[in-house]
Amino acid sequence: MEIKENKLLGVRYRETPNKGGIIEPIYIIMHYDEASNATSAIDWMTDSRSKVSAHLHISRDGVVTQLAPFNIRCWHAGVSSWAGQKDLNSFSIGIELQNEGREIYTEKQISAAIAVCQTIIGQYSIRDILGHSDIAPGRKEDPGKQFPWERFKPLIKENYDGVT
């Protein structure tokens, strides 16, 4: 994978209107979409009435769809904070994974998400990969207990201790 002009090359692109402002991302935030299919999730995030978005959506089949350039602020984190910073939308790239919240993630989906994260980490000064639950505890639980953190944290942290 390769990023050019803040977009992944070779993936589907469908622009969301739910964005605004320039960012320099330092976090990747993992989410699940709570949708039964990728089309409805992407339709929702590209509908101006929803007021939600993410930079990427990854289907259960591993299909990656980009909704906004990585240097543009998307509306995925809501009220959030981490390491003394508030409003994580202004500091992060949001990745939505197709999952209703209780499903095991597919290998195709996780492999695609790892490849995407590795590419993003190679392009931007990413400090950590976090879950929505990390930055909005008590309010959000995604990406859920079934998310394989042991495969993602080592992309950033050499000695991952099992805690996000």
Residues 33 and 42 sit within 8 Å (Cβ to Cβ): no
Pairing state of beta strands 3-4 and 7-8? antiparallel
Name the residue with tokens 């959000």. Answer: 140
Cα–Cα distance between 134 and 81 in angstroms, integer?
8
The catalytic position among 5, 15, 96, 141 is: 96
Cα–Cα distance between 68 and 97 in angstroms, integer?
16
> The tokens of 149 are what?
């953190």
* Whether 141 is catalytic: no
Name the residue with tokens 């942290």. Answer: 157
Whole-Å CA distances, 30 to 4, 81, 112, 143, 163 = 22, 15, 13, 6, 15
Q: Which residues are catalytic?
A: 96
